[in-house]
Every structure is written in structure tokens, then in C-alpha cells.
Amino acid sequence: MDASNPLADAFMKSVKQLQQAIVGVAALLKPKQVVAVKLHHSGVTNVAAANQLGVAALTIGHWLRLPDAVRLLSLLHHYHTAMEGPNEALRRNMLWRIAARLEEDEPRVAILALTEINRMAMNFHDRGIVPTNNAFNDGNDREADVSQKWIVEIETVNAEVVN
């Protein structure tokens, strides 16, 4: 396979191995047991899964404790995590490293990275999520004022660079 082919990527190879492992473990279970594990993985209660599959809730609990079911659930969780990609904290950290690395040589790119970090922080506030471990929080009520000044400063610098 060509090295530039996306399927040759190490991540894609690991995803394919996970998929094969999921199919292999699922083959060791009965079809209803596989459905029960998938429903449990997606957050469905044992009672709801039992109603859907036409079995008792205790049966679902028994199936979920089977070694192959536990293994399948673990593989599904691992696959789901891999497919989610980097979470918001990882993306923010990556942007911070870009900004720090390029601050001297390419200030425009560094400022754009900081602007993106700023947008992510604003999305947190828009969703009602207030970070509790904020670098500006020194225990005083002026956290919001300092944070707002930082945001305005970044936006001002960004506007100057773009213009």
C-alpha cells in the first residue's frame, strides 16, 4: 500500500484492528447478547434493553457480566474514544504549543492560535461552563475582569495583524 494512502496511517491501522477485534469478540456471543452490550454501551438501561429484546432485566445483567461481553464493551469504548478524536483540552493544548513555538518567527500564526483558544474559551462560557482551574483565578472576584481584558487584548492584536 502506498505510504501516502490514509489507510496506511498508524491511527487508521489501529482503528481497523479495533474493528476486527470487535467483530471477532462479537462472533463469540449470541446476537441478542451483542445487541444488549451495544445498547448498554450507548447508555440504555438494563430494563429498557430487556424490554427491547424481550428478555428479563436480570438476563441482561447476566449477559453483561460474561467475559466476552465485558471484552466487547471494553473494545467498543476504546473504539468510540479513538473515533472521537482529540478532546477540547488536547486541541487547546496543541494550539498553545503552536502559539508558543511560533511567537518569534511567525507572530501572525501565533496570534491566530491564541484567537482560536479564545474562541474555545468563549464557547465554554456561552454553554454555561465556567472553568474552575483558570490561570487568572487568584481567589478574587476580579477573575472575570482580567479574563475580559485578556480577551479584548487578543482581539485588538488580532485585528491589527489582519489589517
CA 122/CA 105 separation, integer angstroms = 27
Domains of the chain: 6-84 (1.10.10), 88-162 (no CATH)
From its phi and psi, is residue 67 left (phi > 0), alpha (psi between -120 and 50) or beta?
Answer: alpha
Mean predicted confidence (pLDDT) in 110-136: 65
Q: In the predicted model, is pLDDT for residue 143 greater than 90?
A: no
CA 72/CA 38 separation, integer angstroms = 9
Where residue 160 falls among pLDDT bands split at 50, 70, 90?
low
pTM: 0.54
CA 79/CA 15 separation, integer angstroms = 7
Q: In the predicted model, is pLDDT for residue 131 greater than 50?
A: no
Residue 38: the pLDDT is 95
Percent of the chain residues topping a pLDDT of 70: 67
